[in-house]
Amino acid sequence: MKQTCLLLVAFFACLTAGAQTRYLDEVFSDVTVTSNIQYGTNITVITALQGLAPAPQPLALDLYEPTGDTETDRPLLLMFHTGNFLPVYLNGGAQGTKTDSAIVEMCTRYAKMGYVVASVDYRVGWNALAATQEERTLQLIQAAYRGVQDSRTAVRFFRKSVAEDNNPYGIDDTKIGLGGDGTGGYITLASAGISSYNDIILDDAGVPIPKFWYDPGTGSQIPMVVESIHGNPDATNDAYAPAEVGGFQLCMANHVDYASDFDFQFNLGGALGDLNWMDEGDVPMVSFHCPHDPFAPYETAVLIVPTTNEPVVEVSGAYDIHSEINGYATNNNAVFADADIEDAASESNNGWDGLFPVFNSYVDGVATEPFDSSPWQWYSEAAVQAYDDANGTNILATQLTLNPTMGEAEAMFWIDQIVDYNSPRMGLALGILSEGQINSNGVRYIDEVFADVEVTSGVAYGNNITVIPALQGFLQVQKICCVTSMSLQVIPRRIVH
């Protein structure tokens, strides 16, 4: 009997395994995390907060891998956290590190699906308190530029590891995706769209984009980012400030001989510096965005930085990004938009597959928590309160006023939807899932593969003696033993996992 039970357990375990699809379901139970892998070095300006000159900063990431995996050519996903390009707490919030709760959760989930996932830190630092909007724009554009450089440096780090170090992370460097939360979404969107330095400062007709140029006090207009001073968008060259302002280094070349391109991008609450940065033929994109977001606009408007609530620069959010994508002769998202897969957001995204409007806490079409524009985020209240107590700040109370329902339960509700929506699209874009795998008909004995059930009652399966009449003083009599039979009406039904 014991052996029979063990065989049954093994049988059903095999069925369960067969019902799961790698890169779509969590096929691993555990994840191995390697922290603080250095992927490069570049110059940070955060030292200016202490009155110091820019200085080299080691760039680090945490790597998440499925425990016990034997595959050696796995797709790579790079995740970038939020934080307004300022250190956590100094940005006025409780988020801003590669160990943010939402980032850790998504890295863990995707590693359990079979991906190699990196939570990537990047350089921060800008003067959010600059007196004029033009100066704030200058500072923020340069900060975002450094973020783009770091994202591309991370891509090249992994390519270099494949070519020179015998692929220690077991990746397929032809299948790379980038994902970003908040500020990380800005970074990954820009990294996906910008094709060259001129793409940043000139529109599609080659005309300067005015918001990215300024007058340094000489009566002339110069770009807010200068390639010879800040480095190229890939950070594959050394660059220095002009001698008259100190001549200090502002960019260090990293992994020069490797490509920075990748194959897919998704973002949570991100926006793009300008729609001119996008082109037909860019990588597929998926966007999750609250239409009521008061800081990062859902359409096109001036960005408000939560740290100071001051206006900075006009940017375009998810709605206008996906309007642009769907206006091209060939949709950049065609790989999943033309596939026969379910679009859970179709009733609210104009049929633009890849756009997922996040209607959290809406009543009759109105957001009841208008400042909660990232419901997938949560943090430890105790840790923030400890910081407040030690530094005389009021960050926790302020954040809970903006988002009174903040917590793990709310965040998990939205992360479930984000992962469910993004995973099949990312899988198609990276070429690791097929439409057939996504639209599986299910596995018999595991999934409900039939739509209806027919019941036949009173089917006799034999005769035997019952003693129940003795309760009434009668002799034992023969009893017809019956069962109720069920048969299945064979109606094919598509099961979408």
The parent domain of residue 459 ranges over 452-489
pLDDT for 471 equals: 76
- The residue-averaged pLDDT of 466-487 equals 63
CB 59 within 8 A of CB 41: yes
Assigned domain for 284 exists:
yes
Residue 496: pLDDT over 50: no
Burial, 6: exposed, middle or buried (Cβ in 10 Å; 0-12, 13-18, 19+)?
exposed
Average confidence score pLDDT of the chain: 91
Residue 37: pLDDT over 90: yes
Residues 410 and 462 in one domain: no
- Please state, in angstroms and rounded to a whole number, the distance separating the CA atoms of residues 119 and 250: 24
- Nearest of 277, 313, 278, 281 to residue 297 by alpha carbon: 313
Residues 278 and 317 in one domain: yes
Residue 9: pLDDT over 80: no
Token reading at 148: 């783009």
Residue 65: pLDDT over 60: yes
The pLDDT tens digits for 372-415 are 999 999 999 999 999 999 999 999 999 999 999 999 999 999 99
Better-predicted residue by pLDDT, 112 or 305: 112
CB 143 within 8 A of CB 125: yes
Better-predicted residue by pLDDT, 168 or 463: 168
CA–CA–CA angle 425, 430, 434 (5° rounding): 65
pLDDT for 3 equals: 52
Q: The whole model's pTM is what? A: 0.86
Residues 463 and 348 in one domain: no
- The residue-averaged pLDDT of 44-69 equals 95
Residue 138: pLDDT over 70: yes
Beta carbons within 8 Å of 300's beta carbon, 6+ residues apart: 275, 314, 315, 316, 317, 320
Assigned domain for 494 exists:
no
Beta carbons within 8 Å of 419's beta carbon, 6+ residues apart: 106, 109, 110
- The residue-averaged pLDDT of 96-124 equals 98
Residues 140 and 93 in one domain: yes
Q: Which range, of 291-305, 344-358, 479-493, averages the lowest pLDDT?
A: 479-493
Assigned domain for 458 exists:
yes
- Band of the pLDDT at 474, cuts 50, 70, 90? low
Q: Is 181 helix (H, G, I), strand (E, B) or coil?
A: strand
The pLDDT tens digits for 269-312 are 999 999 999 999 999 999 999 999 999 999 999 999 887 888 99
- The residue-averaged pLDDT of 303-325 equals 93
Burial, 392: exposed, middle or buried (Cβ in 10 Å; 0-12, 13-18, 19+)?
exposed
CB 466 within 8 A of CB 474: no
Better-predicted residue by pLDDT, 155 or 477: 155
* C-alpha to C-alpha distances, 116 to 30, 169, 171, 327, nearest whole angstrom: 13, 8, 7, 34
Residues 232 and 177 in one domain: yes
Residue 472: pLDDT over 50: yes
pLDDT for 466 equals: 83
Residue 485: pLDDT over 70: no
- Nearest of 246, 286, 230 to residue 238 by alpha carbon: 230
DSSP string for 403-448? -TT-SHHHHHHHHHHHHHHHHHHHHHHHTSS-HHHHT----BTTB-
Q: Count other C-beta atoms under 10 Å from residue 108's C-beta.
A: 17
CB 159 within 8 A of CB 258: yes
233-260 burial, b if ≥16 CB within 10 A, otherwise e? Answer: bbbbeebbbeeeeeeebbbbbbbeebeb
SS (H, E, C) 260-298: CCCCEEEEECCCECCHHHCCCCCCCEEEEECCCCCCCCC
The pLDDT tens digits for 157-209 are 999 999 999 999 999 999 999 999 999 999 999 999 999 999 999 999 999 99
Assigned domain for 7 exists:
no
- Nearest of 305, 79, 243, 99 to residue 177 by alpha carbon: 79
Domain tally, the chain: 2
Assigned domain for 266 exists:
yes
Residues 122 and 203 in one domain: yes
CB 58 within 8 A of CB 38: yes
CA–CA–CA angle 369, 372, 375 (5° rounding): 115
- Please state, in angstroms and rounded to a whole number, the distance separating the CA atoms of residues 402 and 138: 28
Residue 329: pLDDT over 60: yes
Say how many Å lie between the first and final Cα of the chain, rounded: 35
Residues 335 and 462 in one domain: no
DSSP string for 327-375? HSSS-TTHHHHTS----TTTTTSTT-TTEEE--TTEETTEESSTT---T
Residue 73: pLDDT over 50: yes
pLDDT for 306 equals: 83
Residues 337 and 484 in one domain: no
- The residue-averaged pLDDT of 259-278 equals 98
pLDDT for 235 equals: 98
pLDDT for 332 equals: 98
Residue 491: pLDDT over 60: no
Residue 1: pLDDT over 90: no
CB 345 within 8 A of CB 358: no
Assigned domain for 87 exists:
yes
Beta carbons within 8 Å of 475's beta carbon, 6+ residues apart: 469
- Band of the pLDDT at 461, cuts 50, 70, 90? confident
Distance of CA 394 to the CA centre of its chain: 29
Assigned domain for 172 exists:
yes
- Please state, in angstroms and rounded to a whole number, the distance separating the CA atoms of residues 81 and 96: 6
Token reading at 154: 């991370």
Beta carbons within 8 Å of 262's beta carbon, 6+ residues apart: 78, 155, 176, 177, 178, 191, 192, 283
Output the domain CATH number for residue 41.
3.40.50.1820
Residues 164 and 294 in one domain: yes
Percent share of the chain, pLDDT over 90: 81
pLDDT for 480 equals: 55
- Please state, in angstroms and rounded to a whole number, the distance separating the CA atoms of residues 32 and 451: 41
CB 143 within 8 A of CB 228: no
Residues 463 and 429 in one domain: no
Beta carbons within 8 Å of 487's beta carbon, 6+ residues apart: 453, 454, 456
Assigned domain for 314 exists:
yes
- Band of the pLDDT at 454, cuts 50, 70, 90? confident
Residues 382 and 471 in one domain: no
Residues 431 and 336 in one domain: yes
